[in-house]
Amino acid sequence: MSWRYTGYWILACLLVGCRSAPPRLALTGARLEPVSTAAPSSASKLARLDESAFTQVAPTNALRPEWLQPPTNLFRLGPGDVITIENLGEPAAGATTAVVGPDGKIYYSLLPGISVWGLTLTETKELLEKELSRFTRVKPELSVTLRTVGSKRCWILGSVSAPGVYSLATPMTLLEAITLAGGPVATPGSASGMPDLRKSFVLRNGQPLPVDFTALLTRGDFSQNIYLQPDDLVYLKASPVPDVYVLGAVRAPTVLPYSDRLSLLSAIAAAGGTIEYANVWHVAVVRGALTAPRIALVDYRAIRRGAALDVRLEPGDVVYVPFVPFRPLAVLAQAVVRQLALQLTANAAYDLVYPNAFPVAPGVPVGQPITPPVTPPPPVR
């Protein structure tokens, strides 16, 4: 995934409905915003999902040994890079600065736009000398050096002192990147003073990597200290908050404040109910760390019909309504983790640019308060 793709992805979340107080939008088109939920009647009975209902799911992707080694490939130019060109045969002329444009071209001396995208510094030097020799009697001898890196970058978002976009001028480990961003932010009221490491992650090519942040930051396990690649996105989630996420085939994916009476039925109702063709027979409840999630499947259709007890949710649960029929648990868990990661990072990127913007939930116009859904969800098919 090129840096342009990452930039377009983030900009897509930022530029929709751009105005003085623009709405906050997530990648999937739905901003995760807390909404109020009406607790079910105290007389209603809720079933509790015990540990026997959950299956521990191993990650479908594992850390590769080469990710723990610094990259050895030569630096290749891309849009945003700045190079310094000096003609050694004409020292009086001085050095010239050239910026690699969005089209991958630079402009130097008499030459038209020369494409250097993907070239090393040595290859760029040889290409410029070849092109200049067409206009001179003596083949020029140039010196090309890298001045500023703009094409290789990573995103460090979430609960750090200085979230933002950082250049990857040299090989950088995950721990170095977090340190560069000022380190983790101690959240007030948190017992550990650390972010929620169980739900922190690294995104690469749109997929979360199975990095154990708890092992890395609390136990010093450097087997988790991978080297970052261009366009990687590091996200440290704020300290554990008693929230429940509702994602997947629902009308308004959202995050709900936890209460001891929050159930699967009320959570999905607060998200607008399920959409048509949702797989309501195998609704997933996911708990635990993103690197080793535990997943339980619940028959939401049976609960709606009164054939089964409603299920009590726990703080930090992720409720995911699948779009397709049942598939292997490992694949289903990976889909849940990926969608949660994309939602969180899209919101964090938006907050980075518009920190004071008024929060807007899905389908709510700018400036309007967020209200819980008042219409019942559609009937289960």
Within 10 angstroms of residue 274's Cβ, the number of other Cβ atoms is: 25
Q: What is the reported pLDDT for 9?
A: 53
For residue 272, the surrounding DSSP H or E stretch is none
In DSSP terms, 250 is beta-bridged to 274
Q: What is the reported pLDDT for 311?
A: 92
**Angle in degrees, CA 359, 363, 365, rounded to 5:** 60
Tens digits of residue pLDDT in 248-286: 999 999 889 888 889 999 999 999 999 988 999 999 999
Tokens of 354: 């518009």
Tokens of 163: 């979230």
In DSSP terms, 234 is beta-bridged to 156, 202
**List of the chain residues with pLDDT < 70:** 1-44, 59-61, 187-193, 240, 326, 350, 353-381
**Angle in degrees, CA 28, 160, 225, rounded to 5:** 90
Q: Which amino acid is at 378?
A: P
The answer to whether the CB of 313 falls within 8 A of the CB of 76 is: no
Domains of the chain listed by start with CATH number: 33-64+242-353 (3.10.560.10), 82-148 (3.30.1950.10), 151-237 (3.10.560.10)
Beta strands in the chain (DSSP E): 46-48, 55-56, 82-87, 95-99, 105-106, 114-115, 142-148, 153-158, 164-167, 196-204, 207-209, 233-237, 243-248, 254-257, 283-287, 294-298, 310-312, 318-321
Q: Look at the alpha carbons of 201, 205, 206, 210 in this order and tell me if their dihedral is positive or negative.
A: negative
For residue 126, the surrounding DSSP H or E stretch is helix 121-132
Non-local CB neighbours of 262 within 8 Å, separated by 6+ positions: 37, 39, 244, 256, 312, 313
Q: What is the reported pLDDT for 331?
A: 84
Helix-strand-coil split of the chain, %, nearest 5: 25, 25, 55
Give Cα 142 distance to the centre of its chain.
42
In DSSP terms, 38 is beta-bridged to none
Q: What is the reported pLDDT for 44?
A: 60
Non-local CB neighbours of 166 within 8 Å, separated by 6+ positions: 153, 154, 155, 156, 177, 180, 181
Tens digits of residue pLDDT in 20-48: 333 333 333 334 444 444 444 434 688 88
Beta strands in 159-293 (DSSP E): 164-167, 196-204, 207-209, 233-237, 243-248, 254-257, 283-287
Give residue for tokens 């554990």: 240
Tokens of 321: 């309504």
Q: What is the reported pLDDT for 6?
A: 52
Within 10 angstroms of residue 216's Cβ, the number of other Cβ atoms is: 21
C-alpha–C-alpha distance, residues 36 and 375, integer Å: 14
The answer to whether the CB of 226 falls within 8 A of the CB of 209 is: yes
The answer to whether the CB of 324 falls within 8 A of the CB of 281 is: no
C-alpha–C-alpha distance, residues 245 and 343, integer Å: 10
Q: Which amino acid is at 197?
A: L
Q: Which amino acid is at 324?
A: V
Q: Chain-wide mean pLDDT for the chain?
A: 80
φ, ψ dihedrals at 200, nearest 5° = -95, 155
Q: What is the reported pLDDT for 340?
A: 87
**Angle in degrees, CA 323, 326, 332, rounded to 5:** 75
pTM value is 0.72
C-alpha–C-alpha distance, residues 332 and 284, integer Å: 8
The Cα-based distances of 70 to 67, 74, 75, 172, 211 in angstroms read 8, 12, 13, 8, 17
Q: Which amino acid is at 126?
A: E
Q: What is the reported pLDDT for 26?
A: 33
Q: Which amino acid is at 223?
A: S
Q: What is the reported pLDDT for 189?
A: 62
